[in-house]
Amino acid sequence: MREVWSLYRFITSLPLFYFALDFQIDGSDASAQDVEQHLEMGKKMLAQGALADALSHFHAAVDGDPSNYMTYFRRATVYLAMGKSKSALPDLKKVIELRPDFHAAKLQRGGVLLKQGKLDEAKKDFDDVLLADPGNAGAKNNLDNIEAVKLMIKEGKEAYENNDFQHAIDTLHTPIDLCPWYAELREIRAECYIAQGDLFKATSDIRTTTKLINDNTDGYYKLSKLHYDMGEADESLIQIRECLKLDPDHKACFPFYKKVKKLVKQMDSIQNFKNEQRWDDCTSKAKSMLQTEPDAFHYVMRAKSHMCHCESKAEHIKEAFEHCNEVLGMDENNIETLCDRAEVYLVNEQYDEAINDYEKAIDVDNNNNRAKEGLERAKKLLKQSQKRDYYKILGVKRNARKKEIIKAYRKLAMEWHPDKFESEEEKKKAEKKFMDIASAKEVLTDPEKRQKFDNGEDPLDAEEQAQGNNPFHQGFNPFGGGGFSFKFHY
């Protein structure tokens, strides 16, 4: 809007004779009246910032009177306000043809040509303005800039050719500021950024060239490749589609499009499998992702990260460790993988190792809640492991189902039946063992108590008993109130 107002003030500040029309309007000339109405409406829309409406009225004014230089000038003003410099140039040229002494148009055209990097053409316009108006500061300042910019462009190109990329970047900075629509300079600077590994800055310059150069399929292809190499497959897919819109059979864009599209689809599927907790499907799709892209760092690491996570959730211990370690070999500070590996350590009852991984993750990001909660749980499980472990008592895995737990309980209860032992000492040992077996069954067959135990809390802890928690719900006692009574509770 600031640019629109600036252009509007420029037009309205011109001497009155610039706006004189080359024809007289009288009551019999309906076409001339229409032209005048369109001009007035166009000026009004321009002042309000309604550029599309202003342009429409100036189109009509030009069609109604193609010999009026001011209608072309006003339309050029709107084009420039809309960022359409290529459309503005023919109108400015027409203005100068119709009114060679209208130096405001030459000054305007010289400015556009300078921004496009057409330095010699711009210089001619500024020279003409100074010839007619030696005190014109705008023309003089631009002429000074042109001479300096020519030298810097030459120096920057030589630096690029000599692989002195940083010097080329530094030298081309000012020319690009003064000639922002000079696509070649942006392409050179982008190549320098790429050579330095700064792909993010390169994308900015290449993206601009796709707007400056018509049908720039090569620009869209390069932009898509840059996003791909940065690990931004979704954005890469968007840009490669722009290339195919211009040329559906483009030799480079079409095969690359197929690859990126396939990879994006695989990554979406992996995320859906993770959301649905389909861990084996997740792992399988991550392996397919590796087949699609076995080399690019970002995607290899992402695929192996998925495999680490999904295999850890599926409790495939060996495979999870393998892929988690591979990811951490590529990025030792990968927080999510550190947490995934820590969870595998917990399943494998390697509590100290889990604590180390969680602590390292917190060192990387002190605000990571997953690592903080995991560390607290790991410490509880370590403390718990130093007491009684109900899984070990029954000899079952931590992911054992209820049927397996009851089966193990029945087997051990029969084995440690106190009546099977004769000596008092053996009976006491059997009774203690049977109590532990009964406690383990009590906790692991109760979903709520088992969840507490898995989180590092012992629901039958003596301290909790002192607060009113009884290890046997509803007064359960495997020995009964008067002598041993052997029963299985399901």
Is the residue at 440 inside a domain?
Answer: yes
pTM over 0.75: no
Q: Is residue 462 part of a domain?
A: yes
What is the mean pLDDT of the segment spanning 91-114?
93
Query: What is the model's pLDDT at position 292?
Result: 97
Place of tokens 């009177």: 65
Quote the DSSP letter at residue 481. Answer: S
What pLDDT was estimated at residue 148? 93
**Is 381 inside any structural domain?**
no
- In this structure, is residue 100 part of a structural domain? no
Distance CA 38, CA 467 (A): 89
Does residue 404 belong to any structural domain of this protein?
A: yes
pLDDT score recorded for residue 416: 85
Q: For residue 431, what are the CA distances in angstroms to 199, 202, 418, 486?
A: 71, 75, 6, 12
pLDDT band at 22 (very low <50, low <70, confident <90, very high): very low
Query: Across residues 16-23, what is the average pLDDT?
Result: 37
Q: Which residues contact 224 (CB under 8 A, 6 or more apart)?
A: 236, 237, 239, 240, 243, 253, 256, 260
Residue 28 has pLDDT above 50, yes or no: no
Residue 129 has pLDDT above 60, yes or no: yes
Domain assignment present for 210:
no
3-state secondary structure of 230: coil
Instruction: Tell me the pLDDT band of 215, cut-offs 50, 70 and 90.
Output: very high
Over 60: is that where the pLDDT of 487 sits? no
Domain count, the chain: 1
Q: Which domain holds residue 435?
A: 390-475
User: pLDDT of 360-402, one tens digit each?
Assistant: 999 999 999 999 999 999 998 888 777 788 888 888 988 889 9
In the numeric block, the tokens 């292809």 are attached to 221
**Rounded Cα distance, 214 and 201, in Å:** 22
Cβ-contact 214, 198 below 8 angstroms: no
CA 378 to chain CA mean position, Å: 33
The DSSP output letter for 17 is G
396-440 pLDDT, tens per residue?
Answer: 988 889 999 999 999 988 888 888 888 888 888 888 888 888 988
Residue 30 CB: number of other CB atoms within 10 A? 9
Domain CATH number, residue 405: 1.10.287.110
Of 392 and 30, the structure prediction assigns the larger pLDDT to: 392
Q: Is 453 part of any domain?
A: yes
Q: Report the chain's C-alpha Rg in angstroms.
A: 39
- Distance of CA 88 to CAs 85, 288, 451, 453, Å? 5, 52, 72, 75
pLDDT score of 466: 53
Q: Is residue 449 part of a domain?
A: yes
